[in-house]
Amino acid sequence: MKPSAPSDGTQLVHVGRQPIFDVHGDVVAYELLFRGSMDAVAAGRQDTYATSTVMVNAFTEFGIREVAGDRLCFINLTREFLVGNIALPFGPEQVVLEVLETVQMDAEVVAGITALSNAGYRIALDDFVWGSGHEVLFGLASYVKLDLLDGDLSRLDEVVDACREYPNIQIVAERLETEEQLAIAEKYGMELRQGYALSHPQVLTVASLSPSRLRRLELVGALSDSDPDLHKIVNIIASDPPLSLRVLRASNSVAAGHANRVSSVRQAVVMVGLPHIRQWALLMALDDASNTTEEHMLAVLTRARLCENIATWFGASSDGAFMAGVISGVAHLLEIPPESMSEQFPLAPAIVAALTEGTGRLGRVLRAVDAYEKGEFGTFDLAGQYMDAVRWSTRALAQSNRLAAA
């Protein structure tokens, strides 16, 4: 049963994912595709907006490991990304940058792709056509994708022979829809295969809270200062639960292989780094939708602040309590278990234990807040702390409204 469009101030976000197989039939990578709806068959657009949306959704809404596990992700790039007008907000570890066939080759594009290759990014030439000018990139490319459905097969020998002169290139046979096309891929020893004959694209869908446009722009402004104020940046992110979650998901890819796990928004910001936070903020500004209601924002912020207010009662970290409050509050709003959200972030063990098992000092904080929100006041009188949380959250939203009206 398909999820219906939510009516509670959240929105559904989507990303298409089509497997790429090796000669043994094992999935070795996914191509990530723009999808505007859960039942969209085709991308509908291949432009900067589409690329930005794929990046934001895959890396910060789902989390890249949720989308692809440890496999590579092929992502289409338009000229703006290739020449560096819009910076990539992620490192080269898990992505392959696809140069769209519509990109006109010139000195600026070649220089931009050379810089990306030198930085460690793998390059793929999408829908390669001999004589298009893209062959100048063979020395940089790791993959050449050949369209066996609508491509010109009369020069296939020539193209394959040219690719084989570069040991670094693997050929991806794409748009395989018939047994005949599969046989062609096999005949030429094409290392990777993609197409409907093997697997149709899947559309992954998740309910999301979108950061408000105001907060995005405020964050972009703070990050654009010549000497960015880390404290101000952390406060902007921490005061907007969706932004906090996106930064946490972005930090998840950075945290792979690190011994340290995230225990505060500040730590997540430091781990991702201000340059990457700036790049994500700019992409979020391109990803141009916001449906989160003030009521929902107030509820999550109040819960997070209340957790922070009582953390010292239980000997818990205030920052960790705020983060646990944000994640559990958003999970409740999206009607998903907090433990499933905790899997998407590189969280400190104490926060994971609190969210998944309700144990530890932070677990006691969450249990006390849960009881208070249900009207089960128990042995703790949280009325004063709750009113402070409401005032703090109301002031934060009021300030946003004043800025928006200015």
Query: Does a structural domain hold residue 199?
Result: yes
Reference 153, options 125, 187, 123, 124; nearest CA is 187
44 pLDDT band, cuts 50/70/90, is very low
Least confident window among 25-29, 43-47, 119-123, 156-160: 43-47
What is the mean pLDDT of the segment spanning 337-356?
79
Q: Which amino acid is at 16?
A: G
Question: Burial level of 375, CB count in 10 A (0-12/13-18/19+)?
Answer: exposed
| pLDDT for the residue numbered 160 | 96
| pLDDT for the residue numbered 203 | 77
Total domains in the chain come to: 2
Percentage of residues in the chain having pLDDT higher than 70:
76
Of the residues 190, 205, 220, which one is the last residue of a structural domain?
A: 205
| pLDDT for the residue numbered 253 | 62
Using the predicted structure, report yes or no on whether residue 213 has a pLDDT greater than 70.
Answer: no
| pLDDT for the residue numbered 42 | 47
| pLDDT for the residue numbered 46 | 55
Of the residues 205, 233, 267, which one is the last residue of a structural domain?
A: 205
4 pLDDT band, cuts 50/70/90, is very low
Phi/psi region, residue 122 (left: phi>0; alpha: psi -120 to 50; beta: rest), is beta
**Contact between 118 and 145 (Cβ < 8 Å):** no
Query: Does a structural domain hold residue 348?
Result: yes
Using the predicted structure, report yes or no on whether residue 256 has a pLDDT greater than 60.
Answer: no
Contact partners, residue 214, CB within 8 Å, separation at least 6: 400, 403, 404
What is the mean pLDDT of the segment spanning 247-259?
66
What is the average pLDDT score of the chain?
81
| pLDDT for the residue numbered 1 | 30
Chain CA centroid to CA 264, Å: 19
Q: Which domain, by its residues, includes 385?
A: 210-405
| pLDDT for the residue numbered 329 | 85
123 and 232 in a single domain? The answer is no
Q: Which residue has the higher pLDDT, 56 or 83?
A: 83
Reference 177, options 154, 202, 149, 144; nearest CA is 149
Using the predicted structure, report yes or no on whether residue 275 has a pLDDT greater than 90.
Answer: no
| pLDDT for the residue numbered 211 | 58
Which residues lie across from 12 on neighbouring strands? 207
Q: Which residue has the higher pLDDT, 363 or 251?
A: 363
> What's the CA gap between 49 and 301, in Å, rounded?
30
List phi, psi (to 5°) of 29: -160, 170
234 and 356 in a single domain? The answer is yes
Query: Does a structural domain hold residue 23?
Result: yes
Query: Does a structural domain hold residue 3?
Result: no
188 and 219 in a single domain? The answer is no
364 pLDDT band, cuts 50/70/90, is very high
84 and 34 in a single domain? The answer is yes
Query: Does a structural domain hold residue 2?
Result: no
Q: Which residue has the higher pLDDT, 308 or 8?
A: 308
Pairing mode of beta strands 11-22, 122-125: unpaired
Which CATH number belongs to the domain containing residue 96 in this structure? 3.20.20.450
Least confident window among 128-142, 229-243, 389-403: 389-403
Reference 352, options 257, 277, 275, 252; nearest CA is 252
Query: Does a structural domain hold residue 6?
Result: no
Of the residues 180, 205, 230, which one is the last residue of a structural domain?
A: 205
169 and 220 in a single domain? The answer is no
| pLDDT for the residue numbered 41 | 44
Using the predicted structure, report yes or no on whether residue 357 has a pLDDT greater than 80.
Answer: yes
HEC letters along 4-55: CCCCCCCEEEEEEEEEEEECCCCEEEEEEECCCCCCCCCCCCCCHHHHHHHH
Contact partners, residue 284, CB within 8 Å, separation at least 6: 56, 60, 211, 216, 246
215 and 181 in a single domain? The answer is no
Tens of pLDDT along 287-328? 533 345 667 777 888 898 899 999 999 999 888 888 788 888
Reference 30, options 86, 3, 69; nearest CA is 69
106 and 189 in a single domain? The answer is yes
**Contact between 177 and 196 (Cβ < 8 Å):** yes
